[in-house]
Structure formats: structure tokens, C-alpha cells
Amino acid sequence: MRIIAGTLRGRRLNPPDNLPVRPTTDMARESLFNILNNYVDYEDCAVMDLFAGTGAVSLEFVSRGAKEVTSVDINNACTEYIKTTAKQFGVTNVHVVRANVFDFLVRAYKKFDIVFADPPYDAEDLPKLPDIVFEKQLLTNDGIFVLEHPRDYSFEEHPHFWQHRNYGKVNFTFFANKFDE
């Protein structure tokens, strides 16, 4: 795994084998950011990365200039790995939170320009994530929520559905308050 673009471009992530994660592939991550590049000014961006795992997505946002990133994961080994990697990379604008994402979202109050979620594909509450994000009003007016999920799910009927992209086994559904192209 590597950081694809920005100030940390080419830096390698070498997470321990025992992390309980399914990292977003480099190819899928690159495709995700190619889409976001058309809609996002990273330098003014506050990002929340849910189910952060290795922190690859969080660090990709930082590398591209995000002003702040909140990385949330329940696994202590994952959160410690993100903290250690951020320190090794000289990154100071990643706030790592060890918490159950669903419990964290109940208490969340801050607005973000981007919320990214890569839950375990077998997470029982995965289909509820878009509703929670919008009910809690966690996005800025032109914020974007990106949900990575298996192909078993379709969110096209969701009132905030914007677009869907498929990259092999990886599916990204984008949600927004506004749908400007």
C-alpha cells in the first residue's frame, strides 16, 4: 500500500499482518480520489474517515492538503498504527479516535466536507450509515458522503444518492446535500 498523490506521494504503508482490516486497494483509492478531485478543494477540507483501519484513506486526504482529518476505528491496534504512521510521516492534522463508529456518530456534532466510510462488508448496520450521516447533519452544505460497500447493496433510492461507481469488488456510493455537476 502506498500514498498515491500529494506531499506524501509514494510513501509506503506497512501495517502489521494482524490488523483486522480489508484495506481499500490502491487502484480503488486512486479512482475514488480522481472522482473527488473534480468536486473538492482539499486545502479547505475537513474529513472524517469512519472504520479507518490502516489510515490509508486518512493519510491520502492529508497528503492532498486536507486541513484536518478525523480517523475513527474501534480497534486499538488500528488506531495505534495510524498514530504511529502519522508521526513517522510528520503529519499533525490527523485526529485519531478509538471508538465504535455507530456510538461515535450518536455523539458527533461537527460538520465535515467529506465523510468516508469503509465498514466491514458484513456489518449489520452498514445500510443505515447514509441515514445516520444525514440525520445527524454531519456534512457541510456541499459536503459529500462516500460509502464503500459490497455489490449486494444499492442506495439508488436514497434521497441523497448522487452517484455509484464500481471497481471490481469495490463499490463506492456517493451521497450529497446538493447535486451540482
- Is the per-residue pLDDT at 2 higher than 90? no
Residue 112, domain CATH: 3.40.50.150
Q: Quick check: is 79 in a domain? A: yes
Q: Quick check: is 125 in a domain? A: yes
Length of the chain: 181
Quote the CA–CA distance of 31 and 125 in Å, as a whole number: 26
Quote the CA–CA distance of 8 and 40 in Å, as a whole number: 19
Q: Quick check: is 11 in a domain? A: no
pLDDT the model gives residue 80: 96
Q: Quick check: is 17 in a domain? A: no
* Residue 87 CB partners (closer than 8 Å, separation 6+): none
- Is the per-residue pLDDT at 178 higher than 80? no
Quick one: CA dihedral 50, 51, 55, 60, positive or negative? negative
Q: Quick check: is 56 in a domain? A: yes
Domain tally, the chain: 1
Cell of residue 33, nine digits: 480520489
How close are the terminal C-alpha atoms of the chain, in Å? 31
Q: Quick check: is 5 in a domain? A: no
Cell of residue 83, nine digits: 498514530
**Identity of residue 68:** E
- From the number of C-beta atoms within 10 Å of its C-beta (0-12, 13-18, 19+), residue 12 rates as exposed
Q: Quick check: is 7 in a domain? A: no
Quick one: CA dihedral 102, 67, 65, 140, positive or negative? positive
pLDDT the model gives residue 25: 75
pLDDT the model gives residue 179: 60
97 lies in which domain range? Answer: 29-152+161-176
Average pLDDT over residues 151-179: 91
35-77 per-position pLDDT tens digit:
999 999 898 899 999 999 999 999 999 999 999 999 999 999 9
- Is the per-residue pLDDT at 155 higher than 80? yes
> At 42, phi and psi to the nearest 5?
-60, -30
Cβ atoms within 10 A of the Cβ of 140, count? 15
- Is the per-residue pLDDT at 159 higher than 90? yes
Q: Which of 73, 129, 127, 75 is nearest to 106 (CA)?
A: 129
Q: Quick check: is 60 in a domain? A: yes
95-134 per-position pLDDT tens digit:
999 999 999 999 998 999 999 999 998 889 999 999 999 9
- Is the per-residue pLDDT at 14 higher than 90? no
